[in-house]
Amino acid sequence: MSLSSIEDQTVAPRPVHVPVLLPETLELLAPKPGGILVDATLGPGGHAEALLEAVGPRGRVVGVDRDAEAIRFARNRLERFGEAFLPLHGNHRDLIRLLREAGVFAVDGVLFDLGISSMQLDAPERGFSFQADGPLDMRMDGDSGSTAAEILATSDEAELRRILWSYGEERRAGAIARAVVEQREREPLERTRQLAELVQRVLGPAAKRFRIHPATRTFQALRIAVNREIDDLERVVTESVSILRRGARLAVIAYHSLEDRAVKHAMRALAERCICPPRLPVCGCGRENLLSVLTSKPVRPSAEEVARNPRARSARLRVGERL
């Protein structure tokens, strides 16, 4: 089992989120002065800042995030760009509706930088991190949907095993799920420290030799389940192409193999809609291809970027151009 789809929490917390694959994203997304770009995962605004600089005062960047704290932070950080920056609080599951309500109907590029920001990870009260004690919450949008504690309290053993295995690629998913069910009969699992200690106990002393903290996979899996991060991704990526102008680009950075697979499938389906024989000069089947995939293989961070920012380790960037 590779570490490639596991996010890194084992390094010292960083005060600021470092944008991943920034030069590569800018080169492939190719924002032009005066362009309108959408950052569908605004976070603390690292990518958005670079996009705002590229589109200049006549351009516009719309930043969407489901986390009100991220919106607040990015609004302050990007204040100097004035009306060129438009923050929108909401889930990118509803991207097209959110944009339409803001009067945005056609754009020159869309970026998704999936997953979690260091800012979220480093706030113990949000419950994403096993490094500091906090409530087992993990909801990106604060107060909607079930918390991690509620999932741990109410899922049966088989469901817990599925979550840990599919979203965390945790080899000991079965043993951890069993231990959760046993422990919750004695006391509710409500704190990050309780869960981190439980996982450490189940994985035993050998886990101390892992390159990552033993609880990394369990925490990642629960976070993905709490926020339903993979459920709608293929549809969301597909729909986002409907607002791209011809020649505009879609860039997606994924950190998990399931996320990357959903992005790859969505892009491929958009690129291979037409069923006409290749000898036909123009499409006659009415199912024109909508995207040309520019990255036959995903772009990965350089060794130097990973050394500087270990969080980038599992990143994979895929880009397509609207035909």
Ligand X SMILES: C[S@@+](CC[C@H](N)C(=O)[O-])C[C@H]1O[C@@H](n2cnc3c(N)ncnc32)[C@H](O)[C@@H]1O
- Contacting residues toward ligand X, per CB under 6 A: 17, 19, 41, 43-47, 64-67, 70, 91-93, 113, 115-117, 140
14 versus 273: smaller Cβ distance to ligand X:
14
- Cβ at position 285, least distance to ligand X in Å: 33
| Distant-in-sequence, close-in-space partners of 316: CB < 8 Å, separation ≥ 6 | 253, 254, 255, 260, 298, 299, 300
65 versus 137: smaller Cβ distance to ligand X:
65
> How many residues does this entry show for the chain?
323
- Cβ at position 282, least distance to ligand X in Å: 37
- Cβ at position 65, least distance to ligand X in Å: 4
The whole-angstrom separation of Cα 171 and Cα 187 is 25
Q: How far is CA 139 from CA 101, 122, 126, 198, 298, in A?
A: 25, 14, 7, 21, 29
25 versus 155: smaller Cβ distance to ligand X:
25
- Cβ at position 96, least distance to ligand X in Å: 13
The whole-angstrom separation of Cα 39 and Cα 92 is 10
93 versus 184: smaller Cβ distance to ligand X:
93
180 versus 230: smaller Cβ distance to ligand X:
230
- Cβ at position 277, least distance to ligand X in Å: 40
- Cβ at position 320, least distance to ligand X in Å: 19
40 versus 196: smaller Cβ distance to ligand X:
40
76 versus 289: smaller Cβ distance to ligand X:
76
- Cβ at position 91, least distance to ligand X in Å: 4
